[in-house]
Amino acid sequence: MVAAVFHSPLEAPLAPAADATTSASVKAMTSTPAPTPRKTARDFRGLWMAVLPPVMGLACLVLLWQLIASTSNSGIPKPLETWTQAVQVFSDPFYSEGPNDQGIGWNVLASLQRVAIGFGLAALVGIPAGFAIGRFEFLSRMINPLISLLRPVSPLAWLPIGLLVFKGADPAAIWTIFICSIWPMIINTAVGVQRVPQDYMNVARVLNLSEWKIFTKILFPAVLPYLLTGVRLAVGTAWLVIVAAEMLTGGVGIGFWVWDEWNNLNVSSIIIAIFVIGIVGLLLEFALIKIATLFTFEEVKS
Amino acid sequence: MNNDAKYIDIQNVEQTFKTKKGNFPALRDINLSVAKGEFVALIGHSGCGKSTLLNLIAGLTTPTQGVLLCADREIAGPGPERAVVFQNHSLLPWLTCFENVYLAVERVFAATENKAQLKARTEAALALVGLMPAAQKRPGEISGGMKQRVGIARALSMEPKVLLMDEPFGALDALTRAKLQDELLDIVARTHSTVVMVTHDVDEAVLLSDKIVMMTNGPAATIGEVLSVDLPRPRSRVALADDPQYLQYRKAVIDFLYTRQAHVEKVA
């Protein structure tokens, strides 16, 4: 349900790569000499399709940006100005001149650290909670209304509560990340547990496996793909929310950096930050998809 | 073990499933006993509750009415002494073939044997079905027939008192099926296992079993007729092919299935 509506922009470019690996393994297994000339021609076309459309898409974006920047007098900097600024910003990403003036590298790392702590705590609580809710119907009926009530709340609404309880900007931001990334992990893990095929549980029952063996050999591997989807959604949401949270709390972080540059009326830096946030989000997503494909096995066809 | 003639004893068993449209009577008035070391085939048209009956003996489901006994004890739940070969193999896709079998071996023998012995048992079971070369492959990397053979190896590796098989060879090609049937005959002769097998293959039933239980059409299916197969063992499929007695048994089963219980499609 949750997993089904989630589509990654990376999925399409990933598909040809997956094809390449499977064909490679098939070749290795049959060990017959492959028809090399035809193979390279096809690979070349695949590469062409993998590279050309994304490049064209980016070019369109830049073109549109240039058009808007040069026709209106809104103060949006042109792509070239932004590029020069970006070169300057990235020439020294790790300088530090006091707590309010640090390089973009430190800002990104500070944000990533908050996301990691908040997300990590959410995983520690959310994944076991998901297993428990999935396994016991009573718990599921008890907790589900609470989740339905709290999940639609904007994570930023929790920020004041965090400030009140933790009396500090940093823990409050982490608290916000925690609360926004816990729901997808609880829900996906619980759904995964509920969807473990009955066949596998029958095997466990016939073998009379211990609860620990059932968990390690059947439940956990069967739920892992769902769990990783939950993790992916959680990290994605956390990265969305941290920027907003940091704008409100201040300190060091990419969100604060955006706000600071806005106060300096340094709009090209904001555009750079948008790209940086996008690229970091993309990398997080990409890494998690890679991990997920490692743990996805063929389902039993009945 | 003073009751070997009624090793598995099924008394007045009735099974009703609760569905959204109300109660569905699957089985009624099932009375059957299986002697120790006996090979029993359950045969009938699809939907007649053969698998339901097998699940009851396995302990995976409990009957609505009646009692099932195994070695004079009520079957209260599933256990490794009644191993099941599932219809759809039910291998765990994240474990290799070796690990799938080892999981079962470990469960049954870990208390009494060391790791090397467990490993040897696993390898022996895989070798029995001719799958040692695929031991380190995952179920997704082997054919459907091979998966089913791993499932059989897993069940046999536990040295169960009763082997329950739910159309174990249904998904295999004719040659592999014949080979595995011969192997099963051989294994059963050596281990004196008690076997209950669901099948819809008449030749398989006559070739393998001591007793063929023919079931009427569902819903509310019951045992229509029980045929004792008194062919001498060891049996050879080649010698039996034109054995008049074998042909007579075969005819009897076909007659039951296609004349008296001709399958009528349900008008839904």
Angle A88-A113-A236 (CA atoms, 0-180°, nearest 5)? 90
Q: Report, as an integer, the average pLDDT of B68-76.
A: 88
Q: Report, as an integer, the average pLDDT of B123-127.
A: 90
State the ipTM, two decimals. Answer: 0.82
Residue A197, both tokens: 């095929």
| Chain B residue with the nearest C-alpha to that of A300 | B90
For residue B128, how far is the Cα from the chain centroid?
18
What residues in A contact B91, CB-CB < 8 Å? 300
- Separation between Cα atoms, residue A153 and residue A56, nearest integer Å: 38
| Chain B residue with the nearest C-alpha to that of A205 | B78
Residues A246, A256 contacting (CB under 8 angstroms): yes
Distance from CA of A279 to the nearest CA of B (A): 33
A297–B94: do the CB atoms touch at under 8 Å? Answer: yes
Q: With residue B155 as reference, give the H or E element that holds it.
A: helix B144-157
Q: Identify the band that residue A42 occupies on the pLDDT scale cut at 50, 70 and 90.
A: low
pLDDT in tens, A116-168: 999 999 999 999 999 999 988 899 999 999 999 998 888 889 999 999 999 88
pLDDT of residue B198: 94
**Which one is predicted more confidently, A75 or A258?**
A258
pLDDT of residue A3: 40
pLDDT in tens, A178-204: 999 999 999 999 999 999 988 898 899
Residues A230, A184 contacting (CB under 8 angstroms): yes
What residues in B contact A214, CB-CB < 8 Å? none
Distance from CA of A235 to the nearest CA of B (A): 26
For residue B222, the tally of other CB atoms under 10 A from its CB is: 16
**Which one is predicted more confidently, A15 or A62?**
A62
Q: How many beta-carbon pairs under 8 angstroms link A with B?
A: 61
Give residue for tokens 């650290």.
A113
Q: Identify the band that residue B261 occupies on the pLDDT scale cut at 50, 70 and 90.
A: confident
The DSSP string of B221-236 is B-EEEEEE----SS--
The amino acid occupying position B40 is V
- Pair type for strands B8-19 and B22-34: antiparallel
B156 touches chain A (CB under 8 A): no
The DSSP string of A47-67 is HHHHHHHHHHHHHHHHHHHHH
The DSSP string of A112-161 is HHHHHHHHHHHHHHHHHHHHHHHH-HHHHHHHHHHHHHHTTS-GGGGHHH
Residues A155, A180 contacting (CB under 8 angstroms): yes
B261 contact partners, CB below 8 Å, separation of at least 6 = B44, B45, B214, B216, B217, B224
- Res A23 pLDDT > 60: no
- Res A237 pLDDT > 70: yes
Q: With residue B126 as reference, give the H or E element that holds it.
A: helix B115-128
The amino acid occupying position B51 is S
Q: Exposure of A302 by Cβ count < 10 A (0-12 exposed, 13-18 middle, 19+ buried)?
A: exposed
**Which one is predicted more confidently, A181 or A69?**
A181
Domain boundaries, chain B: 4-81+161-260, 93-159
B90–A221: do the CB atoms touch at under 8 Å? Answer: no
A298 contact partners, CB below 8 Å, separation of at least 6 = B93, B138, B139, B140
What residues in B contact A206, CB-CB < 8 Å? 58, 60, 78-80, 82-84
From A38-52, B16-30, B75-89, B237-251, the region with the lowest mean pLDDT: A38-52
Q: Identify the band that residue A298 occupies on the pLDDT scale cut at 50, 70 and 90.
A: low
A217–B103: do the CB atoms touch at under 8 Å? Answer: yes
- Res A21 pLDDT > 70: no
What residues in A contact B58, CB-CB < 8 Å? 206
Give residue for tokens 């640090």.
A102
Q: In this complex, which of B84, B88, B92 lies closest to A206 when CB atoms are compared?
A: B84
Q: With residue B164 as reference, give the H or E element that holds it.
A: strand B162-166
Distance from CA of B99 to the nearest CA of A (A): 10
Distance from CA of A202 to the nearest CA of B (A): 7
Q: Identify the band that residue A39 occupies on the pLDDT scale cut at 50, 70 and 90.
A: low
CATH architecture of B4-81+161-260: 3-Layer(aba) Sandwich (3.40)
Q: Identify the band that residue A74 occupies on the pLDDT scale cut at 50, 70 and 90.
A: confident
Site from A26, A201, A207 to mutate, B interface, most B CB atoms within 10 angstroms: A207
pLDDT of residue A234: 92
- Separation between Cα atoms, residue A297 and residue B182, nearest integer Å: 33
The amino acid occupying position B165 is M
pTM: 0.73
